[in-house]
Every structure is written in C-alpha cells, then in structure tokens.
C-alpha cells in the first residue's frame, strides 16, 4: 500500500496535491471498514492491494487519496500503471 502512495508522490510534479499522510490514513481506514472487495472476497492486508480488482482499486485510490478532478484523472492512470507492475 505504501508503495502505491510513494508511486503517486513520486509523480508530484504531475499532481496538484500529492497524497499526504492524512490521505494514506483515510485509505487504510476505508479499506479496513470494507472488509470485502466487490466480488465478496475477504480482504487480507498481508496480500497487499493487488488482491483487489483493478477498477475497485482505482476508484478507492482516486476517491480517498486525491482531491482534485485533475489529480483523480492522473491518479487513475498512475494506479493502472502501478497495478500492472510486479510486486507490491
């Protein structure tokens, strides 16, 4: 999860407001309250974010980590790129 936030912060020049600690905590809180992904599978935090469906991850990231519509659009692209990479 931190790798994804770092990836977004590394692109700070292309984001108006890169995610901060507060947004990371919002993401953690949101995912903890969800307990299940849209397919009904129980979330396992040890497995990382790639266990989530890509569309669900993008929606969650853009709504919890990024504030402006421009950042959300750019963040969706960056999240897709991060999701397609190996590792977590």
Domain ranges of the chain: 2-84
8-39 pLDDT, tens digit per residue, is: 999 888 999 999 999 999 998 888 888 777 77
Q: How confident is the model at residue 86 (pLDDT cuts 50, 70, 90)?
A: low
**CA–CA separation, 82 and 35 (whole Å):** 23
Contact 19, 6 (CB under 8 A): no
How many C-beta atoms surround the C-beta of residue 5 within 10 A?
Answer: 19
pLDDT tens digit sequence for 37-51: 777 778 887 888 888
The predicted model scores a pTM of: 0.82
Q: For residue 12, what pLDDT is reported?
A: 84
């Amino acid at each position: 999860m931190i790798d994804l936030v770092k990836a977004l912060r590394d692109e700070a020049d292309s984001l108006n407001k890169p995610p901060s600690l507060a947004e990371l905590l919002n993401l953690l809180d949101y995912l903890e309250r969800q307990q299940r992904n849209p397919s009904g599978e129980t979330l396992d935090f040890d497995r990382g974010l790639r266990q989530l469906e890509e569309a669900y991850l993008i929606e969650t990231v853009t709504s919890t980590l990024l504030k402006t519509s421009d950042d959300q659009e750019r963040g969706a692209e960056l999240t897709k790129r991060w999701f397609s990479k190996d590792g977590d």
